[in-house]
Amino acid sequence: MSNINGKVYAMNAITPMKPWKTWILRSFFFLLGHVKPLQKDLIDLSFIEFARWVVLPRNGFPFLGNGQVKEDLKYDYLLFFSNFNGTWNQYIDAFSAVLSKGLNLVWRWSEKFPGSVPVTTFKEYIARVQFDTDYYYTAYPHATANDVKSAHVVQSSLNQLELLAEQCNPQQFADAYLRFVLQVQSHLGETGEAPIAG
Amino acid sequence: MPNKNGSVYGLTILSPIIDDARATPSHDLQIRNYLAKLSTREDSPFALAPATHLARLVVMDDVIYVGAPACEEHLKSKYLIFESNCDGDLDGYLRGLADNIPEHLDAIWKHCVGYPGAANRQAFIDYMKACQLDTTFYFAAVNDKSVSETLRALQTQTAVADFIATHQGVDAATLQQEFIQFVARLKSLPLPRPGSMGPHRDIKTGGRNE
């Protein structure tokens, strides 16, 4: 079992929902997907590399025959998979503090969801519905979401300076280089192994 | 359905695991045993095959009962969850897995109901699609860069930091000349291997991180 690889944590959670409520949740996700300003807090949190919610209808579990017994369920299920930086406690605390309204809109349709505030009961609920990851891979374990965003800023700025470097005189280049340094200076944070838990 | 966000594809697969009382150990445990020994670094199967940013494999034993007054119910099968965040179109990605790591795919999915093997590419792709779930909402912090582009950018970021640190106060002509050489050298470097931690650098951090 390994929920952690380098600087990323893999969270899996599954919660039951009464089937009639899943349509409300689907509508909310439709809005969230199409009205980008609604995603602002999620983007600003900036420690989630990838996350997804999957509404799984009670009759939607893959059925392949070959001796498999068909599921017979009363609830639809909400699956949540997140790839985030930092620790479990930091993640849930930040979620609860910054995204409490959004989280409530996502999980209030799930059975026995206590609300994302206060954080203590929210953590108890998440701990109950979470299940562990058997295998977790990341192509860049030493980098956080912010590192990746910053690295692309540096790469893009470098590409622009490179175009200029061949064409201008030394003084013009020195001026452009100074502008480049100002542009990238806040994007040069160190990557490497994650701090050791203790 | 929003399985894609920008150029990144969010693949979710749920494969029913064979339930055979005569199997010892049980098929789900055999999957877990195999996954426990699988590398998560440069020689991970997902590093050897192209286009995976992050991926996980999870054996889901059952749904979770949250307590009364909710109804208690249970699954009739255990499921293997494969969650991947990858580049490109789904067929191309699955074909890339089947071309590069067929032995790993077979070792894991042979414990799942109806798995046809990776040797028959089309049957493999059809099987994976039959087990696929549509994502309801998919978020990606960076949704327009491939794995290679991100590895290259991370390499560039480190090199640029070092270049800036070692070229403070250098005269304009030397700076320009060394910058051109630096960019040429950077471009000639091999791409960091997916799953690697990159060059070792001392870390100056401390404190609790639980």
Structure ipTM: 0.93
CB contact under 8 A, B54 and A16: no
Tell whether omega for the bond before B194 is within 30 degrees of 0, i.e. cis.
no
CA distance A96 to chain B (A): 18
pLDDT of residue B167: 96
CB contact under 8 A, B138 and A52: yes
Encode chain A (198 residues) as per-residue pLDDT tens digits.
Answer: 589 999 999 999 999 999 999 999 999 999 988 888 888 877 777 889 999 999 999 999 999 999 999 999 999 999 999 999 988 998 899 888 888 888 899 999 999 999 999 999 999 999 999 999 999 999 999 999 999 999 999 999 999 999 999 999 999 999 999 999 999 999 997 777 766 554
Instruction: Please state the length of chain B.
Output: 210
| Mean predicted confidence (pLDDT) in B176-200 | 90
DSSP assignment string, A11-80: EEEEEEE-HHHHHHHHHHHHHHHH-GGGGHHHHHH--EEEEEEEEE-TT-S----TTPPPP--SSEEEEE
CB contact under 8 A, B70 and A16: yes
Alpha carbon A160 to its chain centroid, in Å, reads 30
CATH 1.10.3470 is held by the domain A4-131: no
pLDDT of residue A198: 41
Contacting residues of A for B207, CB less than 8 Å apart: 195
CB contact under 8 A, B133 and A54: yes
Residue to test with chain A: of B19, B37, B40, B56, most A Cβ within 10 A: B56
Instruction: Please state the length of chain A.
Output: 198
pLDDT of residue B207: 37
Return the half-sphere exposure (C-beta side, CA atoms, 13 A cut-off) of residue B70. Answer: 22
Residue to test with chain A: of B63, B127, B182, most A Cβ within 10 A: B63
CA distance A111 to chain B (A): 6
Q: B100 near B48, Cβ under 8 Å?
A: yes
CA distance B116 to chain A (A): 12
Contacting residues of A for B113, CB less than 8 Å apart: 64-68
Paired residues of A48 in beta bridges: A84
- Report how far residue A92's alpha carbon sits from residue B10's, in angstroms, rounded to the nearest whole number: 23
CB contact under 8 A, A173 and B179: yes
For residue A57, how many other CB atoms are within 10 A of its CB? 14
Share of chain B above pLDDT 90, in %: 92
**pLDDT tens figures, A83-99:** 999 889 988 998 888 88
CB contact under 8 A, A139 and B64: no
C-alpha dist (Å) from residue A170 to A159, B33, B183 = 18, 61, 16
CA distance A83 to chain B (A): 8
pLDDT of residue A98: 85
Domain ranges of chain A: 4-131, 145-187
pLDDT of residue B203: 46
Question: The whole model's pTM is what?
Answer: 0.93
Paired residues of B59 in beta bridges: B80
- Report how far residue B176's alpha carbon sits from residue B45's, in angstroms, rounded to the nearest whole number: 42
CB contact under 8 A, A149 and B142: yes
Residue to test with chain A: of B129, B137, B147, B196, most A Cβ within 10 A: B137
Alpha carbon A132 to its chain centroid, in Å, reads 17
Q: B146 near B7, Cβ under 8 Å?
A: yes
For residue B122, how many other CB atoms are within 10 A of its CB? 11
Confidence of residue B199 (pLDDT cuts 50, 70, 90): low
Q: A98 near A124, Cβ under 8 Å?
A: no
CB contact under 8 A, B70 and A111: yes
**pLDDT tens figures, B132-182:** 999 999 999 999 999 999 999 999 999 999 999 999 999 999 999 999 999
Nearest residue to B123 (alpha-carbon basis) of B96, B87, B98: B98
CA distance A117 to chain B (A): 18
CB contact under 8 A, A152 and B150: yes
Out of B63, B145, B201, whose CB is closest to A192?
B201
CA distance B148 to chain A (A): 9
CB contact under 8 A, A74 and B10: no
Place of tokens 């990238």: A184
Place of tokens 């010892």: B24
Q: DSSP character for A96?
A: H
Contacting residues of B for A31, CB less than 8 Å apart: none
Contacting residues of B for A139, CB less than 8 Å apart: 46-47, 52-54, 147, 150-151, 194-195
The size of the A-B interface in CB pairs under 8 A is 303
For residue B92, how many other CB atoms are within 10 A of its CB? 14
Paired residues of A110 in beta bridges: A17
CB contact under 8 A, A195 and B209: yes
Contacting residues of B for A174, CB less than 8 Å apart: 172, 175-176
